[in-house]
Structure 1
């Protein structure tokens, strides 16, 4: 806990301090943060036991006595709280009756409930997959549970406390805890681990971010989900994830009266009305591979930028190669399921702008998943398309690996010329006079500077 203003911390044990509503523990595996779920005067606790919880694990049960009121039997776990009543709690209430009749001190009750005394003021219960820490000081009992969630566990463990700050809220300000992590600094407001005022201090690896790995699997056709595929394999596909290509295309079309009833289609669609899935996949596969890149690389860049912006609220993003970006995210309460029916979904859009070059691209969290798994950047007829060349131009490390803007333009022109010719030949052979399936594929996918798309969710 280096660089800490000690005047803002209250030492309650050899390895424990109180700060901004948190109990902080300097443990062998790093910083531990605990949040209070029970806080009341010790004199009001007539009895205390640890008993099996209603939904698994263990719960803290206690009897609170306040002058002028009936005694109240209550319980608390890390995720729930309430009163003890009815037949299901009869055994726990009987235990409280027995403890209350014993007139044992609160310290003895903690000991009898298998709390281990760590220091003069701190006790720890750590059994039955349940951990609680009790702090008894100045006539006050506080019971803390380990804080977790928001993908912050590893970040917090590797952090150091900087200082206690005053954080503005709607009706004034509250004490908050400022921490310096290995790759970002951030503020926590008890009892949540959701970071605010987060700032990246360096680029972070996918493992440091906690970015989930993309699973790899081989289809009977030889197509590798989450891997690399040659374009001929893509052109020969008849199904994906056990669904025919025609069915997947139908799920990808803009929602309408003729939409399949077994999928909540996107209003705008993943493909335009005239787009073809395999032609779209083939064209984009050629662009990415001829530029010496992989869909996994593009997908990871998209997913990482979206992850830190939507999960941690970071707007100034430092990516691979220390390239810097502005990220503006917009989330929704709803979700859009993937048309590949692979149990992935998304609910956020974000726009990434390269601060040095000004290149920008509009992206989505679901889009990052589809790029990583299938090399699918959405169809040229969809307003949600994020063309691979626009992603490469925006992310500096990808642009450098691809050979720079001139090489990107050359390859895109070459690929589009080839696919336009192949498309024209195919239409001539079939006698179909409709528009080319790849029309507009090379056009910029991003909206005009300063514009934002609606969230990539159901009904988008």
Structure 2
């Protein structure tokens, strides 16, 4: 059983022995409403704010209690960094033992059950020692008056002792926003409305956005982009865009594919069709989409070929469309951007809708998605629907089939994002190309439906291809449909 600290036997005596240790750091509140407690550290909206050589760092509060109630603490290595284990004395506790053991670690907090750690707490129990001595015994080093830091096990725990309270803080754990925070300055504390009512929060201004953080969370609120963000700032790898669209014979090559990434086209096409889990169809795979990546009657190769021809003849590449989509959806997903500023400072509204489950990519490339986005061009009103998978599938030239509600047609992507529309030649050019390509594929469908053998199949470039006078194919010949009865 824990020994009762002197504080509870004699409040007057305890005050004499602990006043020096718990008086805490000196403080001074600046014009922003941030309270400086050392040359490098300040408190604001519940965060511990640190100014270091590499920029700004925020530490979120994890444990806060009266110093005299903390009778023992140890720091142990955890699965995701240090684990703070501590014993609390509570004279009002309705139990024979007035003390109980708790813990905090990244991703876990609450009661303590590890017997080995409980034994260490029992051995470390020292209610009569000043709080500074208890911190030192647990491996904390004093960095200034009332401020202690534990720097082992891959991360830090900072203890702030002031006004008889001890608070433990650890770095915020969101890598994407941490990089933004490092390059930010503190604007000051603000109030945000939550389901708990008004809550204190911290407003910051970064290099490309201003935003608000509410502790202990680090997902931004009320984000305002001040300029377009680079891919590095969005946490995305740099890419090299192709110099020119694919050659004219690429569409013909697509129509002749029998495999994609080693999977038979027929198998992949069947996987992409709508899947009813109550009446599963082949292939039976519950990772399939109920809505489908293709409609019930869509052809995968026709869809790929048609969309490739549209993108090619607009003078664009699939990578350009993918990068544009990826930048916008990443800004929304990682940084909660609702008013997106794209290239050349064009502005867009983004509405994000998440779901509980995830949808794997049909190409088995490791891609998964759980959110959908609606993007609206604020100047033109053009809009389209996107998903987490749109960018990765667009790199393969796949924008989903016309028979599914999740399709993000390449022409809609081009129309919505102004820099793509301008490069493609504007709305009139886009409409012309789409009409001509659709007319070609309608003719192709009619040929395939015909039972007459030996009918000519038009070549894709024969549709007023500006790259080839006369619309002839790459080899100067038209192609004949295979003589397969019943196609």
The TM tier, using the shorter chain, reads 0.7 to 0.9
How big is each residue's C-alpha offset from its partner over 1:163-219, in whole Å with a ceiling of 9 and x where there is no partner? 111222345311111111111111111110011111111111222112367999xxx
| 2:347 aligned residue | 324
Report the secondary structure of 2:71's partner residue: strand
Q: Offset of 1:228 from its aligned partner?
A: 6.7
Which structure 2 residue ranges, 5 or more long, are not aligned?
Answer: 1-28, 455-459, 461-487
Larger relative contact order (CA 8 Å, sep ≥ 6): 1
Query: How big is the shift at 1:137?
Result: 1.3
Change (3 A) 1:430 1:144: farther
Alignment of 1:171-182 (within 5 A): 171-182=196-207
Task: Measure the CA separation in 1 of the matches of 2:344 and 2:101.
Answer: 58
- Spell out, residue by residue over 1:126-168, the C-alpha distance to the aligned partner (whole angstroms, 9 max, x if none): 1221321111111111111111228312121111111111222
| Structure whose alpha-carbon radius of gyration is higher | 2
Pairing 1:411-430 to 2, within 5 Å after superposition: 411-428=433-450
Q: Distance in 2 between matches of 1:122 and 1:340?
A: 53
Q: Distance in 1 between matches of 2:65 and 2:452?
A: 80
Check conservation: 1:5, 1:163, Cα contact below 8 A.
no
- 1:267 is displaced (CA, Å) by 2.7
| 1:215 to 1:65, Cα distance in 2 relative to 1, 3 A | farther
* Equivalent position of 1:403 in the other structure: 425
Report the counterpart of residue 365 of structure 1 in structure 2.
388
Question: What SS is found at the alignment partner of 2:326?
Answer: helix
- Equivalent residue of 2:348, what SS? strand
Residues in 2 aligned to 1:315 and 1:430: alpha-carbon distance in whole angstroms: 55
Which among 23, 28, 42 is matched to residue 53 of structure 2?
28
- 1:65 aligns with one of 73, 89, 107: 89
Matches within 5 A, 1:120-139: 120-139=145-164
**TM-score, length-scaled by structure 2:** 0.79
Q: Which residue matches 1:380?
A: 402
- Cα offset for 1:68? 4.5
Aligned to 2:115: 89
- Report the Cα offset of residue 110 of structure 1: 2.1
Q: Please state if 1:193 is matched with 2:221.
A: no
**How many aligned residue pairs are there?**
417
Instruction: Work out whether 1:275 is the aligned partner of 2:298.
Output: yes
Rate the CA distance shift 1:268–1:150 in 2: closer, same or farther, 3 A: farther
For the aligned residue pairs, the C-alpha RMSD in angstroms reads 2.8
Determine helix, strand or coil for the equivalent of 1:288.
helix
Tell me which residue corresponds to 1:262.
285
Cα 1:154/1:420, change in 2 over 3 Å: same
Gaps of 5+ in 1: 217-223, 433-437, 439-460
